[in-house]
Structure 1
Amino acid sequence: MLMFPLLLINSSFDCIFSQHASGMEVKVYDGVESVLLPCQLPADVSSDFLAAVWDREELKDPTVHVRLQSGDDFKNQNVRYTNRTSMRADALQTGDLSLTLRNPTISDSGTYTCNTRVTEPPAVWPIVLSAVLDPVVLLAAGFGVFMYHRYKMMKIYPVEMVNATQGEKSILLPFKVTDHLPQDVKVEWRLINPEDRMVYVYERSKNESPSRDHVYRGHAEMTEDPLTTKDLSLTLKDLCLTDSGVYTCTVYNKDGHMLLQKVVTLRYQTEMVEVMEGEGSVLIPFKITGDLPHDIKAEWRLTHPEEKMVHVYESGNNLSDEDTQEQVYSSRTEMNEDPVTTKDLSLTLKDLHLTDSGVYTCTVYNKYGYKLLQKSVTLSVRDRKSDIKSERRGGINLKIFS
């Protein structure tokens, strides 16, 4: 139940203007489904090169949510907010930068600040130049202006968000066009964030492997005749957590000039488990319904914010020792003695610390090393000593009551 928030916020807009106010306080009770932290920017201030950043500076990793023109950027997001924050898809176009925080708990109490910043636009030569400039410089300047206008003429489709949940075998990154496309175009799907990878290439005139990155071979596909159907959508199969990110589909003509582009943000939603620091143990769940062969290998790894081997089960043996797991997990993990029969691959993690927060992934292989199953769970270990009061002035002070 929300308690009458004041509609006043202190937000700074770097490189545009600054607005100073007394701040506002939002009060909410523990257990509500979500809470909205309001932030409004005049729509006429919005820019093609604007980014919005929500942060909470009392945290070691202060980033709560980042919104770019290309979509949400979760690269530096504090792990405790994984899969719990969202903004409007058109936030930077409308100026409504409000943040939705799902499943708020007492540990989320604090001061949240919304900042906007402007990134550098493409370099463009000025239109008006001094008459004393060298003719070669004038030619370069004119070419720069021409390139700028050609860039602005490229058709950019609206950014789209796609949510994938665990258990889905495949997901569609949609891109249906209305324009007639010549048959000699080149279509490239790329993952651009958190890293740059070529995912899929379609080019009718060349007989080449469609996927340029071995990770996506057999993992990504387009329809057989996308230019005729005007459907450039990409299907990703055998989904896993590392598929999350920002994808671009760019269409080039035969001269290599960009004709169309669309950005799709894929968010892979994991199960969330929360626990207080110092608890005796926590169960990271993974129960299955199908049958498994008895000679499997199950690996539990910490996959975010860094990769660590946590626990290994293989052919009836729990191999939790120095040879198979990171030392930090020594004597702190265990699995069921017979997970294949019980169909319970859950992991118990003992003697919890704040540094245990992160994304844990269990991957199951058969005796030939082929992946059979995979599940990721986000663990958030909360600090018992966290004070619901924040000493920082400005921004939105969020208080959650039990």
Structure 2
Amino acid sequence: MSVGKLNVKAYSWRGRGGVKLVVVKSRVRKIRCLSAFLKNVSEEVAEDLKIITVKSGQDITLTCRAPNENDITVEWSRADLGDEYVLLYRDGQVVPDDQHPSFKNRVDLQDRQMKDGDVSLILKDVTVNDTGTYECRVLMEGTQSSDLISIIYLCVVVPPDYKFITAESGQDVTLTCRAPNNKIRGVQWRRDDLKAGDVFLYWDGHFVPDYRHPSFKNRSDLRDEQMKDGDVSLILKDVTINDAGRYECHIFIRETVCWQLINSISLSVVDPQGSR
């Protein structure tokens, strides 16, 4: 699990009407991505804005600390869920009626006594469908509106597959990789020992040859350029001994702010003469 504040590059300023605007630039190699979840930034932006990356199947705690008050209502929500909550806690108990079905029996407060203002959320057995922007709000007794305390972007990734492939020099090799869905914004095939350049790079509907390592120019391509059914497998043509190494398949799904490592493949290339 990876947790960190958005210290990549964050800029904020006051726009029209005094509304606070925040832009976060995240660098993935030489590509700068505008975080999709910041397109609808609210007027109150919590200072402890965080991105959390976790593997599917794990339990995760989304931290939030409210003013130390006893009589408060806690609202955990996600922007794409409409009027339904991730969790609504009022009068000392969870309110199930307005909870989104996908979170029933999977979420709870870390401490229902809310000692020291701890209103952190425990989310159990996460899946890729739990990826999204979570907002923690509290409503004090006697007030009419809730206060936004924190915003957390949760990115759930699938643990990568590890494979070993052996090929003879001169052959064409397919390195298989399949994305969990078709909403693919970026595909990056890279080899960990290359100091500069990728094996293959695709971003926002375009193949990006400028960032390809010279040794792979005109030799690497996707098996299916339409990426049907999430197929982002790579064809590597006319392999040589120098192509041996560990290849990683990363994908960037639309409406997320994180790359996901899907496959890690160790390729061994042998000389046909020496393999006999």
Q: TM-score, normalised by structure 2?
A: 0.49
Larger radius of gyration: 1
Higher relative contact order (CA 8 A, sep 6+): 1
Structure whose residues are more often strand by fraction: 2
